Amino acid sequence: MKLVSACLMGIHCRFDGKSSLDTDIQQLVIEGKAVPICPEQIGGLSTPRLPAEIIGGTGEDVLDGKAKVMNMEGEDVTEAFIRGAEEVLRIAKTVGATEAILKERSPSCGSNVIYNGTFQGIKQAGNGVTAALLKRNGIQVKSEETENETTFK
């Protein structure tokens, strides 16, 4: 079983109230091979919501208490991001997921690239908070952009 970012299967759970539909990933859910999750909604944030970025580090740093997640009005939403990551890990364990395909660049779901906390569209290498927690717990995390076609067979 896999976890997939809910926005990739067409759920309108993004900060702007839209989805990031990827029909290959949607098909995995239709076939019962993947469970959709949205850590930011599960963590208690509303949709739509203000964009947020990790300030001062990466998802690992947030988990370690060395960085924060702030929205673009300066509100600290770290607690919601950590709560969402922990609940997603709980879902992963419950369904026996060993792999996740998550939306790149998200402060929760990004697994190679995230934004650098300046809200200027500048990217940096790193994991989002949920991706970091899943990786720490032995779950293989890929993005929809780096995933190769064999996943969808």
Q: What span, in angstroms and rounded, lies between the C-alpha atoms of 130 and 109?
A: 6
As measured in angstroms, the least distance from the Cβ of 138 to ligand SF4 is 20
Q: Which strand (E) or helix (H) includes residue 59?
A: helix 59-63
| Other residues' Cβ atoms within 10 Å of the Cβ of residue 72 | 11
Size of the site for ligand SF4 (CB under 6 A): 12
Task: With beta carbons less than 8 A apart as the criterion, state whether 142 and 111 touch.
Answer: yes
- Is 65 buried (19+), middle (13-18) or exposed (0-12) by CB count in 10 A? exposed
Among 2, 3, 9, 13, binds ligand SF4 (CB under 6 A): 13
58 near ligand SF4 (CB under 6 A): no
CA 43, 45, 47, 49 torsion: positive or negative? negative
Q: Which is nearer to ligand SF4, 6 or 34 (CB)?
A: 6
- The 79-118 contact track toward ligand SF4, x by CB under 6 A, reads ------------------------x--x-xx---------
| Binding piece for ligand SF4, criterion CB under 6 A, among 36-44, 52-60, 112-120, 133-141 | 36-44
- Residues forming the site for ligand SF4 (CB under 6 A): 5-7, 13-14, 38-40, 103, 106, 108-109
